[in-house]
Amino acid sequence: MTTSTIVWIVVVVVAAALLSAALAWVARKKRTEHHRVQAGDIREKAVEQSHKVGQREALADETAAKARAAQAEAEAMAAHAAGLQHQAQARHTDAATSRSDVNRQFERADKIDPDSDTSDAARDDSETRDTPRGTPTGKQGRPPMPRAG
């Protein structure tokens, strides 16, 4: 083999290597550009979805705030109801005490009144205590009062 043949072989090999390198570089550059475009498309879609997700989050936050307000209102109503129940119980207790006092006054009046039709047995009967008793002016009794309870 002559030197010129070897030089030509080396030149062809180097040219082939350079051509292969150039093709690889172009292919890589094209692939990189394609990936950039793809990433841009994905980012655009993500931005659109981000707005939708933001709206959903805002709606969820608003709903949670409404739920907290409703819970607070329910707790306030429950506290108010408990206060009313306590007040009602206190009034029932007070009314029962007043009823007992009124019944004792009627019993005292019956004991003092010589014209009273009530007997000792009738005075001990709780049903009779809460019903009108006779008076000296006829059979009209005390006005009926509701029972506490």
Residue 47 pLDDT > 50: yes
Task: Write the pLDDT tens digit of every residue in 51-102.
Answer: 999 999 999 999 999 999 999 999 999 999 999 999 999 999 999 999 999 9
Q: How many CB atoms lie within 10 A of CB 44?
A: 10
Task: Write the pLDDT tens digit of every residue in 117-136.
Answer: 765 444 455 444 454 444 44
DSSP state of 73: H
Q: Which residues, other chains included, contact 147 with Cβ-Cβ below 8 Å and sequence gap of 6+?
A: 99, 130
pTM above 0.95, yes or no: no
DSSP state of 147: P
